[in-house]
Amino acid sequence: MMTSLSSCLPDIPIAFQDAALLSAFAHPDHLLFVGSRGFAHLSPSSILKSNGYRKRRKTFVNLTVTSHGSRGYLASKQKQQGLALIYVLLIFSIITVMASKILSTLWLETKAGAHYLEQVQARQYGLGGEQYASLVLEQDFQKDQDSGRQVDFTGEQWSTPVVDESLEEGRIIIVIRDAASGINLNGLTSRKENEEGMKTALSRLLVNHGLDHSLLAKIQDWQDEDQRTRPSGGEDDTYLLNEPPYRTAGSELVSLSELALLEAVTVDDLAAVLPLLSTLPENSALNINTAPDEVLLSLSERMSSTQVDAILDARKEDGISGFSELSAITELAAVLPELKHKRLGYFTRYFQVFIKASYRDADFYLRSLMYRHEDGRTQVVEREMGYNEIWPELEKELGDG
């Protein structure tokens, strides 16, 4: 008489009863016990035993039959490990990007700070050069006082450029120029006789450099306070039509750069004539000892290159100290009456100091306008920091391009 297998195993959980049936068809090594303690292969004999598997223990058992043993579990475990590796790589990438950003920002801030310090040091070198120029001009005045002959000409120490490369990690260039060596554009609205003579000289200078003499009228209208337009000039109604609109200054010129604002005038047109002009207070005279030959040639319609050469020769050694010495030049006899009515001088009160100071990779440009008082003291009345239109010519002259 046959007894069913289920009746023989009344106390074995249903999962184990099924396992008993499966054991008849499956190899013992193919039976896998899944529980809280891990995995264990069960033999048919152990399955049939009921010890420890009573219902009251409520033990949860999963039985899996696999044709390849534990490979499924290993594959799952490998997938989990691969996902964890991706997370690790992702976090590492984020940290790397953040660290790179921090380092690059730190590098830029360090570089900016170092450049700022270099600029500060170069600026201090430049201001030191300004003090040096002031001392040189005061010493020159004292020398003139001792000799009893007040004159400023290009053969004196102050007119020699200084290039000092002995500075620690830097160098400095100092160029002193007589600011009264060019025709003064201020005072053109005056009706004084000597100013009228300088207007004629300016008009002649402009024509000699290929510019229209109508530029003189534009400069006068720019400076005067009224709104009466001169022929070929221009007042507010002319400049308010520009984009953007602006008005005339109605006062003396402060800088030669203002000329670029005049109607129908470009910077390129003025490039050749700018070194021959100045914007000093109205009472400043043209220093005949430092005026370029082009300016001297414009002083009279009858002035020839031979007469200009005679002036250059006379001032080369010790300069010309007054009109009496100028009259002693025989070649100037024909133009002396006309020169007498020009606003001419033989020394100057105003000097322009051009300074280029370098420290490591930083360059500092400074243009200072200095006024020398009657007692010889010098005073800075104007500063312009930065590269300006005069420096290209100076660098070409000094070979420091």
Per residue of the chain (401 residues), give pLDDT as tens: 444 444 444 444 444 444 444 444 444 444 444 443 444 444 444 444 444 444 444 444 444 444 445 556 566 666 667 788 888 889 989 999 999 999 999 999 999 999 999 999 999 999 999 999 999 999 999 999 999 999 999 999 999 999 888 888 899 999 999 999 999 998 787 766 566 778 889 999 999 888 888 899 999 999 998 999 999 899 999 999 999 999 999 999 988 889 989 988 887 888 889 889 999 987 789 999 999 999 999 999 899 999 999 999 999 989 999 999 999 999 999 999 888 878 899 999 999 999 999 999 999 999 999 999 999 999 999 999 998 777 877 888 887 76
201 and 326 co-located in one domain: yes
Is 359 domain-assigned?
Answer: no
132-173: per-residue pLDDT in tens? 999 999 999 999 999 999 999 999 999 999 988 888 889 999
DSSP state of 284: P
Is 355 within the bounds of a domain? no
Average pLDDT across the chain, whole number: 82
Does residue 193 sit in the same domain as residue 335? yes
SS3 136: helix
The answer for residues whose C-beta is within 8 angstroms of residue 353's C-beta and 6 or more apart is: 129, 130, 133, 174, 175, 176, 177, 366, 367, 368, 369, 370
- Is 48 part of a structural domain of the chain? yes
Q: Which of 293, 321, 324 is nearest to 306 (CA)?
A: 293
- The answer to whether residue 42 sits within a structural domain is yes
Residue 351 belongs to a domain: no
pTM of the model: 0.71
Task: Among 49, 69, 89, give the residue marking a domain's end.
Answer: 69
Burial 153-182 (b: 16+ CB within 10 A, else e): bbebebbeebeeeebeebbbbbbbbbbbbb
Q: Residue 16: inside a domain, yes or no? A: yes
Give the position of tokens 């002035």.
Answer: 303
The C-alpha atoms of residue 41 and residue 45 are separated, in whole angstroms, by: 12
- Distance (Å, whole) CA 129 – CA 163: 11
Same domain, 192 and 336: yes
Distance CA 344, CA 365 (A): 31
Q: What is the pLDDT of residues 247-267, one digit of tens each?
A: 999 999 988 889 989 988 887
333 in the same domain as 207:
yes
Proportion of the chain above pLDDT 70, given as a percent: 79
Q: How many domains does the chain have?
A: 2
Torsion angles phi and psi, residue 346, rounded to 5: -130, -5
Residue 190 shares a structural domain with residue 58: no
Q: Which domain holds residue 13?
A: 5-69
Q: Is 328 within a domain?
A: yes
Which residues have CB under 8 Å from 141's CB, separation 6+?
A: 372, 376
Q: Give the model's pLDDT for residue 18.
A: 47
How long a stretch of residues is the chain?
Answer: 401
CATH code (residue 197): 1.10.40.60
Could you tell me if 339 and 203 lie in one domain? Answer: yes
Q: Is residue 158 part of a domain?
A: no
